[in-house]
Amino acid sequence: MTLKNDRFLRALLKQPVDVTPVWMMRQAGRYLPEYRASRAKAGDFMSLMMNPEFACEVTMQPLDRYPLDAAILFSDILTIPDAMGLGLYFETGEGPRFRKTIRTAADVEALAIPDPHKDLGYVMDAVSTIHKELNGRVPLIGFSGSPWTLATYMVEGGSSKDHRIVKALAFNEPQTMHGLLDKLAQSVTSYLNGQIMAGAEAVQIFDTWGGALSHAAYREFSLSYMQKIVDGLIREHNGQVIPVILFTKNGGQWLQAIADTGATAIGLDWTTDISSARRQVGDRVALQGNMDPTMLYASPQRIREEVSSILEGYGNGSGHVFNLGHGITPEVNPENARVFIESVHELSAKYHQN
């Protein structure tokens, strides 16, 4: 299938583009009234996510509203632990929770690596359904949580401010933690490869909690397992290169080490200066990011100024995919998101003139 708009993939591969491509993390989400209507129709988040037709419907909604350059699968990072039998559910106001937690070596030993087609078939069906619906309009991004991020939820039982329980397990019983992370790395690899085979044209690994680790612990418990995944991924399918994006929130101090993994691109959060990041990694990888999501609460003029500043920070040439530094938040005015997206295209053209 020939893509009508491939500038997202071209930018990741540092090939020439006419304007800087843009998409948003959580672009299908609660800030859109049409999403809230679909979720109400589905009944709850889990029913929305686990129904391929609903997942396709909400994936397409932001594309029908804005001139985005990529679609991202509507799903959740915690599908793998749920498929491992931990019992994912969502508590109003509390976020994701698990009915079972992983606290001992025996708990880790009992975990089975999910088969992406049997245990996570609804995700593969969603990817293929969305890919068919897109019909080459823009590329489709598949994704997963990183092993460390998945492990934090599995051990803590849900969200945590200090990650006290999971860090204690890592520091007191590193062998147990490495056993868990190794199973998760195998699971993520097969899960992402399944998404690629089903139609995802790029994949992103969300390392939401890697930045909560110390310098040495990040390399030991997070980056080394993302390296295993990168090494095991399908990197070409149907004659297309499959780009891989690694995003560690608060990961600015490890940019060179992340680039060393062989990933195609590094996702930046808003705490890292993009001009500094480009100086550090050179042309080894593309960069994705990195406007502060709360800038979308500012005036349209201030949003345009921030977009202009980040574009200027990256400078001339390809290799930049514009994004927020984390996901768009539910209270954002959808028209401010439009200002953001359209400003990226309008203001970036001058950086791509030969």
The reply, when asked if residue 103 is annotated as ligand binding, is no
What mean pLDDT value characterizes the chain? 96
Q: How confident is the model at residue 350 (pLDDT cuts 50, 70, 90)?
A: very high
Q: How confident is the model at residue 307 (pLDDT cuts 50, 70, 90)?
A: very high
SS (H, E, C) the chain: CCCCCCHHHHHHCCCCCCCCCECCCCCCCCCCHHHHHHHHHHCCHHHHHCCHHHHHHHHHHHHHHCCCCCEECCCCCCHHHHHHHHCEEEECCCEEEECCCCCCHHHHHHCCCCCCCCCCHHHHHHHHHHHHHHCCCCCEEEEEECHHHHHHHHHHCECCCCCHHHHHHHHHCHHHHHHHHHHHHHHHHHHHHHHHHHCCCEEEEEECCHHHCCHHHHHHHHHHHHHHHHHHCCCEECCEECCEEEEECCCHHHHHHHHCCCCCEEECCCCCCHHHHHHHHCCCCEEECCECHHHHHCCHHHHHHHHHHHHHHHCCCCCEEECECCCCCCCCCHHHHHHHHHHHHHHHHHHHCC
Mean pLDDT (whole number) for 271-293: 97
Q: Is 105 left (phi over 0), alpha (psi -120 to 50) or beta?
A: alpha
What is the Cα–Cα distance from 269 to 249, expressed in whole angstroms?
Answer: 6
Residue 127: predicted pLDDT: 98
- Residue whose entry in the numeric block shows the structure tokens 């990168």: 230
Place 160 in a pLDDT band, splitting at 50, 70 and 90: confident
- The answer to whether 27 is a known ligand-binding residue is yes
**301 known member of a binding site:** no
Q: Tens digit of pLDDT for each residue in 104-148?
A: 999 999 999 999 999 999 999 999 999 999 999 999 999 999 999
Q: Is 158 annotated as a binding residue?
A: no
Q: What is the pLDDT of residue 44?
A: 92
pLDDT at 95 > cutoff 90: no
The pLDDT, as a whole number, for residue 159 is 87
In angstroms, what CA-CA distances link 6 with 47, 51, 303? 32, 28, 26
Residue 87 pLDDT > 90, yes or no? Answer: yes
| pLDDT value for 286 | 98
**Is 30 known to sit in a ligand binding site?**
yes
pLDDT mean over 267-273: 97
Indicate the CATH number for domain 33-65+70-250: 3.20.20.210
Q: Active-site residue numbers? A: 26, 30, 39, 76, 153
Instruction: For the chain, give every residue range classified as CATH 3.20.20.210.
Output: 33-65+70-250
Annotation-wise, does 289 bind a ligand?
A: no
Using the structure block, give the residue that is written with the tokens 């780009």.
Answer: 243
What are the tens digits of pLDDT across the range 1-41? 689 999 999 999 999 999 999 999 999 999 999 999 999 99
pLDDT at position 342, please? 98
Round to whole Å and give the CA distance between 279 and 287. Answer: 11
Summarize pLDDT for 222-242 with one digit per residue, the tens: 999 999 999 999 999 999 999
Cis status of the peptide bond prior to 354, with omega within 30 of 0: no
Rounded mean pLDDT, 305-325: 98
For residues 158 and 40, the model is more confident at 40
pLDDT tens digits along 57-74: 999 999 999 999 999 999
Q: Return all residues near 247 (Cβ < 8 A) that are at least 6 apart.
A: 204, 205, 206, 207, 266, 267, 269, 288
pLDDT per position as a tens digit, 114-125: 999 999 999 999
Q: Which residues pair with 72 in a beta bridge?
A: 141
- Per-residue model confidence (pLDDT) at position 90: 87
Phi-psi category of 66—alpha, beta or left, where left has phi over 0 and alpha has psi -120 to 50?
beta
Tokens of 294: 């709360």
Residue 341: is its pLDDT beyond 80?
yes
pLDDT on residue 263: 98
Please report the pLDDT score of residue 91 as a whole number. 75
Annotated binding residue 66: no
Q: Is 26 annotated as a binding residue?
A: yes
Tokens of 162: 């200090």
pLDDT of residue 274: 98
